[in-house]
Structure 1
Amino acid sequence: MTTLHHEHPTHKHTHGPSCGHRAVSHGDHVDYAHDGHLHREHSGHWDECESAEHTTHDGHAHAHGAGCGHDSVPHGDHVDYLHDGHRHAEHDGHYDDH
């Protein structure tokens, strides 16, 4: 899955293990949930971490929601759920991998 490279030019906060924002493992890097979106460090600046593709998570029988047992992360206009090492977002009756 490719990730779009959208630099967050006004991001002055430095994320890290004790910054107070939720860390989310995402492939070969860590995203941080902040202000309703996800940031990742990249070449000395912070990027908005957004998937460039619509990838359906086939065979996902588990319904995410309050009390489902998985951590939730606000992400723009929806909520992602951390499950099996990646983020799931409900979309058109199925879950997408982010």
Structure 2
Amino acid sequence: MTTLHHEHPVHDHIHGPACGHPEVPHGDHVDYAHDGHMHRLHSDHYDECEPAGHVAHQNHGHRHGDGCGHPSVPHGDHVDYLHDGHRHAEHDGHWDDH
């Protein structure tokens, strides 16, 4: 899975542990869920941090939803669930890793 480098234009908000946006561990950095997309600090600006490709989470028997115990994060036209350091999104009867 690769991460595209798309700079988020004009972002005055500074993300951090107390900024009010969910922190999402993502490899060697932390993304912040903000307005339905993910932001990643990069040098002196924020990037839109989105995965490329389709990676199914294998052997995931847990069903995410209201009350499942994992934080939900709005993401574009769907909801991701933060689980074990990554995001899960429902897709065609399985869960994708974001």
> Could you tell me which residue of structure 2 aligns to residue 65 of structure 1?
65
Structure 1 or 2: more strand by fraction: 1
> Could you tell me which residue of structure 2 aligns to residue 21 of structure 1?
21
Q: Give the whole-Å Cα distance in 1 for the aligned partners of 2:52 and 2:4.
A: 5
Q: TM-score, normalised by structure 1?
A: 0.95
TM-fit CA distance, 1:31: 0.6
* 1:56-90 residue CA offsets vs partner (Å, 9 max, x unmatched): 11111111000111111111111111111111000
TM-fit CA distance, 1:20: 1.3
Two-structure CA RMSD over aligned residues (Å): 0.9
Q: Structure 2 unaligned runs (5+)?
A: none
Q: Structure 1 unaligned runs (5+)?
A: none
**SS of residue in 1 equivalent to 2:50:** strand
Give the number of equivalent residue pairs: 98
User: Percent of aligned positions with the same letter in both sequences?
Assistant: 78
Q: Give the whole-Å Cα distance in 1 for the aligned partners of 2:20 and 2:61.
A: 32
Q: TM-score, normalised by structure 2?
A: 0.95
Q: Give the whole-Å Cα distance in 1 for the aligned partners of 2:43 and 2:9.
A: 13
